[in-house]
Structure 1
Amino acid sequence: MRLIVMIAGVLMIIISSCGVSPETVDLVRNNQSAYQIVVSVNSDSLSKVAGSELQEIIQKVTDATIPINHQKQSTGKQILIGKEWIDTSARIDTLDEDGFIIQVTKNNIVLAGNNGKANLYAVNTFLEKYTGCTMLSPTEYYIPQNKNIEVPLGEIFYEPDFNLRKLCFDNDEFHDYKNWNKLEDLDEWGLFVHTFQHLIPPEKYYDSHPEYFSLVGSHRLKDGQLCLSNPGTIQTLIANLRERMEEHPEMKYWSVSQNDCFNYCECEECKALYEKYETISGAYIHMANQIAQEFPDKVISTLAYNFTRSAPKNIRPLPNVNIMFCSIECNRSMPLEEDKRSADFVKDMKDWSELSDNIFAWDYVVQFKNYLTPFPNFNVLQKNLQFFKKHGVKIMFEQGSGHNWSDLNELKQYLLSKLMWDVDANADSIINDFITKYYGEAAPYIKSYFELTHQNLNKYKEEERLDIYGYPADYLDSYLQPGYLKEYKKIMDQAEEAVNNDSVYLKRVRRARLAVDFAYLDIALNKEPEGMSYLDRSGDEITIRQDMLDYLDRYTENSVATGAVNINERLFKTKDYRTYVLNKLHRITAPNKAKGKSVEILTEYSEKYPVGGGKALNDGVVGELDFHQKWLGFEGHDMIAVVDLEKSQEVKQVSMNFLKAINSWTFLPIEVEVEGSVDGVNYIQLGSVKTTDTDRGFLVQSIPYTIVFNTTSVRYIKVTASSLKQCPQWHRGYGNPCFMFVDELIVE
């Protein structure tokens, strides 16, 4: 943030170095004020809101009611809102759109910018600076009580470090919070990100113009990218974009950008563009430039994301082409410029900044597969924002957890809002101030938890990759070690105890502890560290610990009571997670006549994720919600497995789980059939089930399949799971082998 401070005509730094306190005026003294608020009758609505808010907050802090007038008086003390009242308005005109001034003389206080929004920013900054009020969350103010408000003489000019500052958290519907923290909406965007599918929808164009769509291998994909070397594709994009612009002529920014997948076109003409511009992104800039020429009064935004992240050679984006540069792949255990693993990203940022000064940085600051997991990335936030500012980023977008709660959600968006305005603000002071105000008597414990998670991650920062798509178990050897988890849990217990008699603070603490509880429970389920497993394996039979079930129930109830019910971006809810846990525990502890018996796999299984072949089907280990962990995979093949029960036994049920992870090319079987035999040669069908699940969503699920049949005496059980074998035509992996994953096979 560019900041110029004058106090009584003297630079603040000179006054401070001489140890002289600046002269002040009494805005309120002993609950009384001599001031009036002046807002012109012709002011816009936001300036009038600013006047009302100023009056309301001062009244709440001091009990002093300051009247609002619409005309400046020749005498008396006044708080003047708007640049029409200021003598140095020409200087204000040089400020950025959101810039403003706080000017204090002996009789007047001027809070002014170049528009109503900036006037409101000025008022809110004044209130926070001189009354101590703030908005801690989208619905929660902090308003201290005081008899007096003193304000130093002088003037301060404020300007933001980024022209537009957007947080994607749960603040979108709360205008007071955004205005207080100087956050903005994308209200000038007619289309926003991943728009190929909207401008050339496959359901409308694929059958008549398959050549518009990306050629991958030998197939034109519906759910891929577009063929950007085809003139018809470009003309159709222009025509359909023009229609949308005519419907919304007020919109300035229009995203024409790749879909959220890879699958870029491999036709010879597109390859020629990639070669010409030395990167795939060159073809996308070539496309964006053609469209931008058609609409010179608009801004055409396109992505530098995944396969288009590297800047091209031999082409420059036109001035009205916006580059949306994304950090999705980057590690979060270290700042970008300090992390060797992020060197390519840093280079790409520099390369783009040499081609364009119209850059939109899209950064990611939460863990999307597990919102409710400790994610100690606060130490990188400021340095990464400073990095983006240094390279000329104009628009800063921080991708959080949207309308869902995530670890230390309130603190993270509060800190980010301050740093996006001023990247050099004192982050430690902001964090400490927030924790103190938001958690009351529990603040020392929450601060201890905050510091411990960061200290523990920092020990492993060089080798640990803090991934936005990680799982708790991924960090079992670093900041989520069992000993650390037990310590975090103890701290949260102490935090609860400290505010047990205050329902407001208690709810905040219970929400904050959800991340600790989820990590503890999930690691206890999937890794079973000593002393923190759901299971008691000390006896002849494995049993489930009641204290862990109670812990799971408290966690689930707490999530509902505090409004944090979604575990991940696919809206996997805590109640559904509880069901998953109970199902998994049941499968581990259920009597299984197949356990430890010989299993022969008659089809080809994949060694990409080795789990021991047929032994994985009856080793007592049940798969996690991560296809890398404990699942036997079949890529492009059916599964036929034969279990030898060693002697004829009565059986009545066979069950197993299959993984559904469509975004990872993993599909449920078409049909599962169970057969039985007494001799291993002649089989009879015992039962079957066909898959009726048609949901194409990306939520990862472990789906139980249970085949119940009449009690039959058999020695051999044959299970046939029929795979799709190839990704279907509607899927972005069309034409490629798909996976089918299965875990423990239970015979009862």
Structure 2
Amino acid sequence: MNHPLIIASGNQELDANIPFLEKQLEVLFQGVKEDSSPLEGLTIRLKSDSSWSESQYRLRIDRSDISLYSSSSASMQQAMVHLLELMGLKLLGPELYSIAEESAQKFPQQYEYTYTRPFAFTSLLYPDAYEPAFRAWYGIDWYLDDFGVWGHSFDQLVSPKAYFDSHSEYFAWYEGERHAEALCLTHPEVRNIAIQNLKEILAKNPEAKYYSISQMDDLIYCECDRCADVNAANGGPQGSLYFFVNQLAQTYPDQDFVTLAYLYSSKAPTQIRPAKNVITMLCPISMDRGAGIKEGARNQYFKKEVLDWKKVQERLFVWDYTVQFTHYFSPFPNFESMTENIKFYHEMGFEGLFMQGYADIPGSLYALRQYLLVQLMRDPDLDASVLTREFLEEYYGKAAPYMEEYLLTLADAQKKSSKRLGIYGGPVQAIFSYLSPEIMDQLDQVVTKAEKAVRGEAHFAKRIAAVRMDLEYTYFEQAKYYGKDQHGMYVPSATGYSLKEGLNARVKAFADQAEHLGAYELSEAGPGPQQYYQDWLGYQTFATVSHRGESADYKFISQPSTEYNFKKTYGLQDGLRGSSDFSYNWTGWYGDSPVIEFTLSDTKPLSRVVLNFLEDQRHWIFLPEKVKLFGYYKNHWKLLAEVKVGDLEENWLVDRRTISLMSSGKRKFSKYRVEVSSLKSLPKWRKRRNKMPMTMIDEIEIY
């Protein structure tokens, strides 16, 4: 088959794309049949047209004559991609092509299409986005190229290392103290230093389109008198933020700056208007990912925030979150909301999208996720369900129907549960929604069918094996939660309880496979695959315990936080200790002190009570001040034992502390009470507005 004749435009910038087109045509023609007559004898003319903006192109087909009109190299390449896709060539991943013979046979004789890029900036953080060829095909930007400074940047504008010790007044006055984590945004010298440092940054990166002037990743903001006045007039701490950002932006009026509307600055200021060269990047970190922004009841707060922002400025970006950051290899059924939200952003006139995913880690169904994102960022009017079906057919072959069933099973289970779907959840939280034992059984059966369907087809089988990995990881995480119960990691044995046969080998196989795929961490800043395996082995050394409390009657006098009370009182008497992960096998009291009563089922006197507490100060989990044990006798509570924990120290390591309360054992009381005195307030190094200390107990062991 004769390849098309390509006629250059005479514009060197546009014609530099000709080798790209020739290479892709070679791939296409190697895959189509020789009798694909609609593709015979074509002439492709590149035409430079300055009447088109850099974000536009025009494609015109008149029988065998094809014309591509553009004014920029990037848009010309997009016109070429459009043509290639009409011919039947698709790109699923770097060097991973799909050739649709049907499209080649139905190549149009007459066709005219004008494209205008829907967003000025689109970028995503997924494995294949690191490949320039993949980005170029879909017209996706690379955030590190476009931004001279990215993300949280105040420490680059005014360095705490350089100034905090000598000029603490440059930094935030918060809860009665100066904090290096934030700036005093109304201090004149802070502005001067920031402007000077910004000048140097601009000089180093003159080609960048945007520069971030953004708060740090913390809840601290300045409450000095000056900042407080500005904030009071603007509905919150976003006031002093835009007071500061505008001053820097007005110094360089021809340069675009981006600032994050994040945590305490998420709402629009009520008086100050962002400068024309300031773009606000909204960061909806708390949204319910089980529903879209438009219809999701839990997301109406963010919809209102968007509408409020549109009243004060037109230029909006969004930094959206599209995966579960605590468990990269666990199913996360957010596909519908993820794709619907892109359409919402387009309808609301957002100028740019940054979609954060697994970064360069091949997490759960990453290829499908990134494919849907790049397609919809390029054209938000596309049908996500059609795109999904097409991708599944090309990527999973004969297993595609089962993969569609897999996705529908997860999505339906999540919807029926009406539970919130968060980016910091996981397999244990999902036990009560889309990863219940019943759903896990269904998913296992579906994946087994998929495995059989592609047996002997190595490339498809490898992709289904990655889906099996997700279920394996989910099973391991849930097995730690279930412990000695059904679905747990332990089974009854002659000596008590033993690990399920072959389970360690399965975890090791998962770790090896994840490592082979290039996963260097299994969650954001979490353990790598081999460390996960070592942690799994380490947990077994202390996970189970047998004690009299397993048959006792426990009662909460003070109620734990709903979010950390999955097993109710059973969680304190199931014979299962907690690991360093606070999200399961720990019962937590937030801003309250635990008080638990228990009644023994036997007549033996009590000799000892053992409690394990978690310390994870990063997540506001602290050791208590003291613990008391009481016995009830003749309508009176008698103090049997008291242990003071000791002075509180700053500790950024995760630790478990065991406290034993000894009783004389001479008298049998009708019931007992454990009273834990939690911290009344957070220490200064973790003090944050609207945050309280949490106390966590994994088991109350009775001997």
TM-score (norm: length of structure 1): 0.77
3-state secondary structure, aligned to 1:303: strand
- Offset of 1:331 from its aligned partner? 0.5
Over 3 Å counting, the alpha-carbon distance change for 1:492 and 1:693 in structure 2 is: farther
Please tell me whether residue 78 in structure 1 is matched to residue 43 in structure 2: yes
Q: Is the CA contact 1:221–1:729 (under 8 Å) kept in the aligned structure 2?
A: no
* Alignment partners' CA distance in 2, 1:135 and 1:287: 44
Q: Is the CA contact 2:55–2:75 (under 8 Å) kept in the aligned structure 1?
A: yes
Over 3 Å counting, the alpha-carbon distance change for 1:634 and 1:330 in structure 2 is: closer
Matches of residues 549-698 of structure 1 in structure 2 within 5 Å? 549-564=504-519, 566-589=521-544, 620-623=575-578, 625-626=581-582, 629-631=585-587, 659=614, 661-666=616-621
1:215 alignment counterpart: 173
State the AA in 1 paired with 2:449: Q
Aligned residues: 670
3-state secondary structure, aligned to 2:58: strand
Q: Deviation per CA, 1:337-381: give whole Å up to 9, x if none.
A: 112221121011011112212111111111111111111111112
Over 3 Å counting, the alpha-carbon distance change for 1:33 and 1:146 in structure 2 is: farther
Question: Which of 148, 161, 166 matches 1:203?
Answer: 161
* Alignment partners' CA distance in 1, 2:649 and 2:229: 44
* Alignment partners' CA distance in 1, 2:419 and 2:606: 51
Matches of residues 228-267 of structure 1 in structure 2 within 5 Å? 228-267=185-224
Q: Is the CA contact 1:369–1:470 (under 8 Å) kept in the aligned structure 2?
A: yes
State the AA in 1 paired with 2:209: K
* Alignment partners' CA distance in 1, 2:280 and 2:149: 14
Question: Which of 359, 362, 369 matches 1:412?
Answer: 369
Please tell me whether residue 427 in structure 1 is matched to residue 384 in structure 2: yes
Q: Is the CA contact 1:587–1:746 (under 8 Å) kept in the aligned structure 2?
A: no
Q: Deviation per CA, 1:310-350: give whole Å up to 9, x if none.
A: 11112211110111111111101111111222112101101
2:481 alignment counterpart: 526
Over 3 Å counting, the alpha-carbon distance change for 1:274 and 1:355 in structure 2 is: same
Q: Is the CA contact 1:288–1:301 (under 8 Å) kept in the aligned structure 2?
A: no
Q: Is the CA contact 2:63–2:109 (under 8 Å) kept in the aligned structure 1?
A: no
* Alignment partners' CA distance in 2, 1:62 and 1:695: 60
Over 3 Å counting, the alpha-carbon distance change for 1:213 and 1:520 in structure 2 is: same
Question: Which of 285, 304, 319 matches 1:347?
Answer: 304
1:24 alignment counterpart: none
* Alignment partners' CA distance in 1, 2:543 and 2:501: 15
- Offset of 1:266 from its aligned partner? 2.0
Please tell me whether residue 502 in structure 1 is matched to residue 472 in structure 2: no
Over 3 Å counting, the alpha-carbon distance change for 1:472 and 1:107 in structure 2 is: closer
- Offset of 1:648 from its aligned partner? 13
1:278 alignment counterpart: 235
- Offset of 1:744 from its aligned partner? 5.2
2:635 alignment counterpart: none
Q: Is the CA contact 1:215–1:221 (under 8 Å) kept in the aligned structure 2?
A: yes
3-state secondary structure, aligned to 2:461: helix
* Alignment partners' CA distance in 2, 1:519 and 1:589: 20
- Offset of 1:80 from its aligned partner? 2.2
* Alignment partners' CA distance in 1, 2:93 and 2:640: 68
Over 3 Å counting, the alpha-carbon distance change for 1:300 and 1:33 in structure 2 is: closer
Question: Which of 25, 31, 39 matches 1:61?
Answer: 31
Q: Is the CA contact 1:419–1:425 (under 8 Å) kept in the aligned structure 2?
A: yes
Please tell me whether residue 227 in structure 1 is matched to residue 184 in structure 2: yes
1:471 alignment counterpart: 426
* Alignment partners' CA distance in 2, 1:597 and 1:202: 54
2:123 alignment counterpart: 166
* Alignment partners' CA distance in 1, 2:332 and 2:592: 36
Q: Is the CA contact 1:595–1:620 (under 8 Å) kept in the aligned structure 2?
A: yes
Matches of residues 693-732 of structure 1 in structure 2 within 5 Å? 703=655
Identity among equivalent pairs (%): 26
3-state secondary structure, aligned to 1:184: coil
1:50 alignment counterpart: 20
Question: Which of 116, 128, 135 matches 2:91?
Answer: 135
Q: Deviation per CA, 1:119-161: give whole Å up to 9, x if none.
A: 111112211221x222212452224679966442232111222
Over 3 Å counting, the alpha-carbon distance change for 1:292 and 1:522 in structure 2 is: same
Matches of residues 1-400 of structure 1 in structure 2 within 5 Å? 31-33=1-3, 35-36=5-6, 38=8, 40=10, 42-43=12-13, 46-62=16-32, 78-81=43-46, 83-84=47-48, 89=49, 93-95=51-53, 97-130=54-87, 132-143=88-99, 150-186=107-143, 187-223=145-181, 225-400=182-357
Q: Deviation per CA, 1:244-282: give whole Å up to 9, x if none.
A: 112223333111111111111222222211111123212
3-state secondary structure, aligned to 1:214: strand
3-state secondary structure, aligned to 2:456: coil
1:444 alignment counterpart: 401
Over 3 Å counting, the alpha-carbon distance change for 1:596 and 1:382 in structure 2 is: closer
- Offset of 1:706 from its aligned partner? 10
2:633 alignment counterpart: none
TM-score (norm: length of structure 2): 0.82
3-state secondary structure, aligned to 1:269: helix
* Alignment partners' CA distance in 2, 1:597 and 1:105: 83
- Offset of 1:546 from its aligned partner? 0.7
- Offset of 1:440 from its aligned partner? 1.3
3-state secondary structure, aligned to 1:286: helix
Q: Deviation per CA, 1:546-578: give whole Å up to 9, x if none.
A: 144444344333323434453211132233333
1:14 alignment counterpart: none
* Alignment partners' CA distance in 2, 1:148 and 1:424: 24
Q: Is the CA contact 1:210–1:220 (under 8 Å) kept in the aligned structure 2?
A: yes
3-state secondary structure, aligned to 1:336: coil
- Offset of 1:705 from its aligned partner? 7.7
Over 3 Å counting, the alpha-carbon distance change for 1:628 and 1:213 in structure 2 is: farther
Over 3 Å counting, the alpha-carbon distance change for 1:440 and 1:293 in structure 2 is: same
3-state secondary structure, aligned to 1:543: strand
3-state secondary structure, aligned to 1:297: coil
Over 3 Å counting, the alpha-carbon distance change for 1:729 and 1:551 in structure 2 is: same
Greater CA drift, 50-59 or 386-395: 50-59
1:541 alignment counterpart: 496
3-state secondary structure, aligned to 2:219: coil
Over 3 Å counting, the alpha-carbon distance change for 1:542 and 1:54 in structure 2 is: closer
Q: Is the CA contact 1:726–1:734 (under 8 Å) kept in the aligned structure 2?
A: no
Q: Is the CA contact 1:489–1:517 (under 8 Å) kept in the aligned structure 2?
A: no
State the AA in 1 paired with 2:121: L
- Offset of 1:588 from its aligned partner? 3.4
Structure 1: runs of 5 or more not aligned: 1-30, 65-75, 600-604, 638-645, 671-679, 708-713
* Alignment partners' CA distance in 2, 1:203 and 1:607: 41
Q: Is the CA contact 1:362–1:398 (under 8 Å) kept in the aligned structure 2?
A: yes
State the AA in 1 paired with 2:109: P
> In angstroms, what is the RMSD of aligned CA positions?
4.6
Structure 2: runs of 5 or more not aligned: 35-40, 594-603, 626-638, 667-675
Q: Is the CA contact 1:78–1:108 (under 8 Å) kept in the aligned structure 2?
A: yes
Over 3 Å counting, the alpha-carbon distance change for 1:259 and 1:582 in structure 2 is: same
- Offset of 1:52 from its aligned partner? 3.4
- Offset of 1:177 from its aligned partner? 0.8
* Alignment partners' CA distance in 2, 1:184 and 1:368: 23
